[in-house]
């Protein structure tokens, strides 16, 4: 039986999620027994325009990227959005609150007219996405789970509950008790609550859970003498594309 051909692509991103895939080591060797990686610029020089599975990292922030990602969708049977830039727009969308001409001048100075830039967006804003692997960066185990689920033609087992569940399973002291803001109650779990475990509030890199209880989160903030503006400031780091959520 021929193996599924998989191609990795990267748009506007730091490529940290692809790097995370490369650190899988033994699990990656097991995966290449099952899939044939035909394009992966961060790991190999060969490339191919023939593939079944496209794993796409990064947000879309240039007109040329719109054309490229549509071509990927036309070619692949299955498209996976890899990491927060691709799934929710991520940190790249911070620029969207400014005029694009002003952004270009800040970044490129007198060369600004040579560069194309548009408000950043997740890839799902341009093409249909079949699977999402959340986080900045992604969780290695979740990557393996999603790829296995695709090969086995089943739904991947991805948490649909909040970061608080994982945090409480670790018996962490809640950061609200320390007077800190945390977005754990409204953010999708799967990162093993790594930020609150290391005494840092969750900033929502895995995106919102499907039905976030925002009013309960607001009450939690005010009950602890914290402001909604403080929570919104944290949310905007990763959630600014979805700022009206």
203 scored as a contact of ligand SF4 (CB under 6 A):
yes
Q: Which two tokens stand for residue 107?
A: 């970044």
239 scored as a contact of ligand SF4 (CB under 6 A):
no
Supply the minimum distance, in Å, between the C-beta of residue 66 and ligand SF4: 18
- Count CB atoms within 10 A of the CB of residue 60: 27
Angle between helices 140-151 and 26-34 (to 10 degrees): 10
195 scored as a contact of ligand SF4 (CB under 6 A):
yes
Closer residue to ligand SF4 (CB): 52 or 142: 142
- Count CB atoms within 10 A of the CB of residue 194: 16
Q: Which stretch binds ligand SF4 (CB under 6 A): 65-73, 97-105, 117-125, 202-210?
A: 202-210
DSSP string, 137-205: TB-HHHHHHHHHHHHTTS------SBHHHHHHHTTPPPGGGGT----GGGBB--STTHHHHTT-----T
What is the number of residues in the chain?
Answer: 245
Supply the minimum distance, in Å, between the C-beta of residue 36 and ligand SF4: 24
Q: Which residue has the tokens 């503006």?
A: 229
Q: Which two tokens stand for residue 223?
A: 């009950």
Closer residue to ligand SF4 (CB): 153 or 177: 177
Could you give the string, one character per residue 60-99, with x where binding to ligand SF4 holds by CB under 6 A and - elsewhere?
-----------------------xxx----xx--------
Question: Are 116 and 62 a contacting pair, CB within 8 Å?
Answer: yes
Q: Is 14 exposed, middle or buried, given 0-12, 13-18 or 19+ CB atoms closer than 10 A?
A: middle
Question: Are 245 and 217 a contacting pair, CB within 8 Å?
Answer: no
* Position among 168, 214, 218, 226 found at the interface with ligand SF4 (CB under 6 A): 168
37 scored as a contact of ligand SF4 (CB under 6 A):
no
131 scored as a contact of ligand SF4 (CB under 6 A):
no
194 scored as a contact of ligand SF4 (CB under 6 A):
yes
* Position among 167, 186, 208, 231 found at the interface with ligand SF4 (CB under 6 A): 167
* Position among 89, 121, 206, 240 found at the interface with ligand SF4 (CB under 6 A): 206
205 scored as a contact of ligand SF4 (CB under 6 A):
yes
Instruction: Report d(CA 26, CA 53) in Å as an integer.
Output: 21
Instruction: Report d(CA 183, CA 164) in Å as an integer.
Output: 9
185 scored as a contact of ligand SF4 (CB under 6 A):
yes
31 scored as a contact of ligand SF4 (CB under 6 A):
no
Would you tell me which residues interact with ligand SF4 (CB under 6 A)?
Answer: 13-17, 57, 83-85, 90-91, 135-137, 163-164, 167-168, 172, 174-176, 182, 184-185, 187, 191, 193-196, 202-206
């Amino acid at each position: 039986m021929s193996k599924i051909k998989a191609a990795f692509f990267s748009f506007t991103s730091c490529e940290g999620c692809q790097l995370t895939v490369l650190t899988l080591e033994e699990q990656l060797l097991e995966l290449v027994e099952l899939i044939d990686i035909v394009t992966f610029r961060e790991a190999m020089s060969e490339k191919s325009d023939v593939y079944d599975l496209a794993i796409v990292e990064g947000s879309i922030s240039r007109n040329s990227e719109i054309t490229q990602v549509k071509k990927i969708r036309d070619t692949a049977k299955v498209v996976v959005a890899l990491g927060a830039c691709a799934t929710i727009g991520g940190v790249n969308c911070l620029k969207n609150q400014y005029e694009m001409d002003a952004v270009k001048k800040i970044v490129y100075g007198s060369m600004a007219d040579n560069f194309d830039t548009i408000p950043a967006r997740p890839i799902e804003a341009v093409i249909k996405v079949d699977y999402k692997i959340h986080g900045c960066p992604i969780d290695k185990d979740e990557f393996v789970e999603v790829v296995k689920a695709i090969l086995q033609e089943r739904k991947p087992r991805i948490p649909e509950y909040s970061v608080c569940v994982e945090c409480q399973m670790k018996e962490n002291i809640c950061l609200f008790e320390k007077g800190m803001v945390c977005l754990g109650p409204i953010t999708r779990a799967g990162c093993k609550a790594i930020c609150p475990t290391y005494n840092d509030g969750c900033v929502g890199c895995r995106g919102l859970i499907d039905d976030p209880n925002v009013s309960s989160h607001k009450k939690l903030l005010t009950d602890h003498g914290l402001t909604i503006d403080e929570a919104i400031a944290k949310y905007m780091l990763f959630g600014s594309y979805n700022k009206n959520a």
